[in-house]
Structure 1
Amino acid sequence: MSGIGPLTQDWEPVVIRKKAPNSAAKKDEKAVNAARRSGAEVETIKKSSAGTNKAASSSTSLNTRKLDDETENLTHEKVPTELKKNIMAARVEKKLTQAQLAQLINEKPQVVQEYESGKAIPNQQIITKLERVLGVKLRGKK
């Protein structure tokens, strides 16, 4: 080990201090402390929005209001009835269970179950895998 000197450790303490308050805050604090020392009544008011991100909460309420005002029924696209029937028929024809089919397309059994029940959000890659494994054209005439 040439060129490497003895290892030394630096054990100097590191002191981290809070940022000093600005001059306006110091004046306010001094006035309050002086009033307390003299025995005068000091009224303290707790701010209702203390510790909250006021800007974020107001924009959130605006977004919530927009969603509430929205009359259109927004839902995810579901698997069409024809597609789910085609998947089921092709799977039964090949004598496969949902779990076996899922294993063949490298997906969880729940994915196949959701497609056959019509609850899944259609994913073209998964439908392509199903078509390849089942050897059937599942989507419409293209």
Structure 2
Amino acid sequence: MSKSAPIFSDADANTTVIISKRGPVSKTLKSQAAINAALRSGGPVDTQKKIMAGGNRQHTSNKDTARLDEETEQLHHDRVSLSLGKVMQQARAVKEWTQKELATKVNEKPQVVAEYENGKAVPNQQILAKMERALGVKLRGKDIGEPLGPAKK
């Protein structure tokens, strides 16, 4: 019988065998000098800008962007008129309310009332209806500023 060589030798017992190893990580060229060097050497250069990269925003969309898509090609929202803001201010002055008191009555933030009075708000029919009832003045339609009549049946 011939003697066969052992499977493991003493030298093999001290060595480490790595079964899998990750390959080299692709380098991201961030500086302008590194990009220029890659261009000169003929290496691949990808010039895409990532939008909102690194942000923790998952599946976010703004309601206003959807409205803009549905709306006009001018890409802006319609705003309330300044005349509406003046009517609101006058009606509020008659009742001697501050913007904060009106906002409390209609269950909105004071900033919302300020935006409507400054003509910067996007018109919301529900908010306008609440303000009409609180102030007792029509804020929509042809006869803006007229006293709010009794509810029609």
Decide which structure has greater helix share. 1
- TM-score by length of structure 1 reads 0.50
- TM-score by length of structure 2 reads 0.47
The one of the two structures with greater contact order (alpha-carbon pairs below 8 A, sep at least 6) is: 1
